[in-house]
Amino acid sequence: MKRIVRKFTSAGKSKGSLRATVDTLYESGDTAVLWGWILVQGSPAEPSASLTDVEGNPIDVRFVWVHRPDVEAALKPQADSAYCSGFIAIAESRSNRLGKLHVGSESVDISQQAFVMVDSMAAIIGSVPAASRARVTEALEYLDADDPQDDANEEVSEVFSVCVDTVATIVDKYVYLNGWIADPGSDIDLIQVKLDDQVLDITNQLIRYPRHDLRDMAAAKGMTHTEMGFFCVVPCAGPVRTGSFSYGRRQHKSSLKKLPLKFGSLPADEVKATRFLLAPLNVYSESFATRAAPLLAQVFEAIWEPRLQSRPTGEVQQYGKRPESPKTSVIIPIYGRYDFIQHQLLHFSSDKDFANTEIIYVLDDPSKAREFFIACNGAFQTFGQAFTTVYCGRNLGYAGANNLGVEQARGEFVLLLNSDIIPREKGWLSKMLAKFTTLDAVGILGGKLVYEDNSIQHMGMRFQEDSFYPGVWMNYHPYKGFPESLAPAFTSQEVESVTGACMLMKTEVYRQVGGFDTHYLLGDFEDSDLCMKVRQQGLKIYADGENCLYHLERQSQNLVDAGDWKFKLTLMNGMRQKKKWDQQIKDLKNELN
């Protein structure tokens, strides 16, 4: 929980036989909640206590006395012969600053004390010993229950807490809100946001998700569920300068509680902004596929659109003599690890197939630029294999990097190859090219890929509906993990799609269909999408069952990042594929099966 720390003291202020300290203060409107302790010498029983403001006016307050073993231990032996207790003071109808704490006939000036201010009740309740939380919660819920003037028209007492953690504008098209609501009695049935002069009811637009960091507060309020977090995306028509977040009961609309909104912005980098928005996404919620994913998809499109619409110009650097009329251009994106180029160039340099093959490395990771170009120079000096590098100074993603590389390609054929693909034998490229020319209406030929232990990684891909997210077509690899000797043998066969890790096609076809769709963010489903676009041209997709390469799958990425955000993004990209190709995929499966 965020705390605004001014200063902290545990010494307390004293007058006569009274010592008292306010440790923590939470303020909301004209209400204040204080957490602290008192020690009263010569008072064996619970004393009477009250509060006044700085002008001496009494403040309506309710005290709840709680056990403070930390204070008792610190003040021994004084605490053994005095009344020593912690307290929660809930003060209402306060129009002035807190002044004095009165206990019996004595008082302490708390207006001069230094204490810690918090921006939510969770911080105070979380610090109360577990054995006392029920009484504190009860006091908060029924603060005015003993007021003789209560009647049926009185507003429901506040048993809930609300906090808006983040407010961010997104390219002047959306306002993103993130926070939490603790509402054990489900009393809040109206939530409004005011953006400049526009008031919107967003009660039913909140996407809920677990906030495990608030477990203690939930327990203190008697709540068993953990989906206290929320986020919401509100469309806007231009820059928003001011706003507020209001909540409460619909039947008491005129007295909604209001929180001012402090506007910020998401990280400027698209990848960091995407990660930030994915963090609270609960992919196991029933609302994920129907509400959360479609909503965030629109936001991602707005965030990424400027980059996707731009036409990057790559800086080209040549190592050795570039082939004048290459048969094939091999496009290899580099992100994260760059040391695989040394292993690849070692194999390429000893294979005569690469004497007239154009090798193009596309650097897609600005953070590795210096090391990458040092490694390139060393690799060329060591192996003598000619190659080209392309670099545009920023990250384009897997699709954008390949598209940029193909722009430089001069070969009749283009082979898309991952940086962690290592040849198992020489002559594999010429064999793939020869096979390509024998196939009927071929559009793409995918390679056979195995792991380093010779188990199958890829022999073609199949669209398979995800069991947990019905309707989302995931890219399934038949026989993945099987020993190569146990997998079915074939020379070549038509398949539904193939992986972009090793994909051979004519350069003109790649360009004709527009290459990879860059709207699949950061490397998912571009390959199966390209296969579907090629099929639209009346061409077929084949897998090569003979020419085999090693694929150290995702080793080029595992050292770069961690967490579950990429899994969440995979599901988001899968939903894009469903939206774009659902009926065509169903027709294809009927055709091939």
pTM of the model as a whole? 0.70
pLDDT band at 10, cuts 50/70/90? very low
**Cβ-proximal residues to 80 (8 Å cutoff; 6+ apart), any chain:** none
Window from 69-73, 243-247, 474-478 with minimum mean pLDDT: 69-73
Looking at residues 154-165, what average pLDDT do you find?
64
Which sequence spans correspond to the domains of the chain?
3-141, 161-273, 315-592
Pair type for strands 328-334 and 357-363? parallel
Of 451, 491, 496, 466, which Cα lies nearest the Cα of 478?
Answer: 496
- Measured between alpha carbons, how far is 216 from 296 in angstroms, rounded to an integer? 30
pLDDT higher than threshold 90 for residue 158:
no
Concatenated DSSP letters for 473-521? EEEE-TTTTSBGGGSPP-SEEE-SB--TTEEEEEHHHHHHTTSS-TTST
First to last CA, the chain: 56
Nearest to 570 by CA among 510, 526, 515, 511: 526
Residue 49, CA distances (Å) to 38, 91, 102 in order: 10, 12, 5
pLDDT band at 183 (very low <50, low <70, confident <90, very high): confident
CB hemisphere CA count around 259 (13 angstroms): 24
Q: Which of 1-15, 155-169, 201-215, 349-363 has the lowest mean pLDDT?
A: 1-15
Give the 3-state DSSP-derived string for 4-27, with helices as H, strands as E and coil as C. Answer: EECCCCCCCEEECCEEEEEEEEEE
Give residue-wise pLDDT tens across range 257-282. 889 998 888 888 888 899 889 988 88
pLDDT at 233 over 90: yes
Question: Mind listing the pLDDT tens digit for each residue in 121-154?
Answer: 766 776 777 667 666 766 665 443 333 333 333 3
| Lowest pLDDT segment from 47-51, 195-199, 439-443 | 47-51
Whether pLDDT at 366 is above 80: yes
447: left (phi over 0), alpha (psi -120 to 50) or beta: beta
Q: What is the pLDDT of residue 264?
A: 83
Condensed to tens digits (0 to 9), the pLDDT of residues 46-62 reads 778 888 888 888 888 88
Tokens representing residue 9 in the block: 């003291």
Amino acid 144: pLDDT: 39
pLDDT at 151: 34
CATH topology (fold) of 315-592? Spore Coat Polysaccharide Biosynthesis Protein SpsA; Chain A (3.90.550)
Query: Per-residue pLDDT for 203 more than 50?
Result: yes
Least confident segment among 159-163, 169-173, 333-337 = 159-163
Which has more pLDDT, 524 or 557? 524
Torsion, CA 410, CA 412, CA 413, CA 416, rounded to 10? 10
Q: CA–CA separation, 405 vs 297, rounded Å?
A: 27
Contact residues for 190 (Cβ-Cβ < 8 A; gap 6+)? 201, 203, 246, 247, 248, 249, 250, 253, 256
The answer to whether residue 305 scores a pLDDT higher than 80 is: yes
**What are 535-584's pLDDT values in tens digits?**
999 999 999 999 999 998 765 444 345 568 888 888 899 989 999 999 99
Quick one: which of 423, 421, 404 has its CA closest to 354?
423
- Rounded to an integer, the average pLDDT of 283-289 is 83
- Which residues have a Cβ under 8 Å from the Cβ of 562 and sit 6 or more positions away? none
Contact 116, 24 (CB under 8 A): yes
Which pLDDT does position 14 carry in this prediction?
Answer: 42
Confidence of residue 76 (pLDDT cuts 50, 70, 90): confident
The pLDDT mean for the chain works out to 84
* Token pair for 234: 């509100």
DSSP string, 31-79: EEEEEEEEEEET--SPPPEEEEETTS-EEEEEEEEE--HHHHHHHTTGG
Here the tokens at position 76 are: 């021994």
Percent residues over pLDDT 90 in the chain:
45
Position 184 confidence tier, pLDDT thresholds 50, 70, 90: confident
In CATH, the architecture of 161-273 is Sandwich (2.60)
Percent of the chain with pLDDT over 70: 87
Q: What is the mean pLDDT of residues 451-469?
A: 91
pLDDT of residue 138: 63
> Across 82-96, 391-405, 410-424, which has the greatest mean pLDDT?
410-424
Amino acid identity, position 157 = S
Q: Name the pairing type of β-strands 31-41 and 49-53.
A: unpaired
Handedness of CA 45, 46, 50, 54 (dihedral sign): positive
Decide if 507 contacts 413 (C-beta within 8 A): yes
